[in-house]
Amino acid sequence: MCGIVGLHLRDDTLQPRLGALLRGMLHQVSERGPDSAGIAVYGDDTLAPQGQATVALLGTTVAEAQAAVKGVTAVERGGVVLLSAAIPTALLASQVRAALPHALIAGRGPGLAVLKGVGHPMAVADRFGLDSITGYQAVAHTRMATESAVTPEGCHPFSVEDGVCLVHNGSFANHATIRRELIGDGVTFDSDNDSEVGARFLAHRLSRGDDVEKALRLLCERFDGFYTLLVSTADSFAVVRDAVACKPALIAETDRWVAMASEYRALAALPGIETARVFEPQPEEVYSWTR
């Protein structure tokens, strides 16, 4: 079933409240995905210092990471280690893979912090200190596993390209076929999760010069199944549903924010919701907003 929520802030005065607002939204979709949860946050300087590359790591500790990768700063939130350095993200990720081959890079990009783990979504949110998180944009996911095991590697969001995150409600029927095609093109995978195939497909298209909207339209052409996707980058926030659109989704928009959720109750407590334009995204239409 799974639950998706996301918040894209237009009003900078709301940035100190980003984590608290997202926590309230996450709470309302917790029962849709009790297995695990994950959050991607843009613009929290404590987690991802401005002007630096950041990678989120599973399977290591702050002490081990700092000893293995020189010249980085590190913080830990709920079992996730966030390493930052004033170098390109690709170089930092390469250094991490060489020095910590057993650790999983769960997210990467300037200004981006990805936090995810197994457990009830609100327990996971508390481990991450979600209430105190700030920033200008965030997406979150609560997972009910159907296609792969309940592991930290299988949690959403999937962030496999700089600053790009994908969260998914549904399942891709032909993910194994597309996985084989991507592997043939040199793409590597970290899990057997079908959603990772969608994330890797998007990253592959972006690397070939497509923008997010075009990449999502191509995904709709290539992927079979039922899905609602929320995709974020450092400067954009996009939603798309499959041709049948059986997976629930609502979008609310005001001059202060844009929000997306699997259910209206996750939107109901947002400031100004009473005057928001609230609508259901149409099948295979890409909706996107930029900063």
Give me the active site residues, please: 2
List Cα–Cα distances, 191 to 59, 199, 202, 218, in angstroms. Answer: 14, 12, 16, 23
Upstream peptide bond of 110 is cis (omega within 30 degrees of 0): no
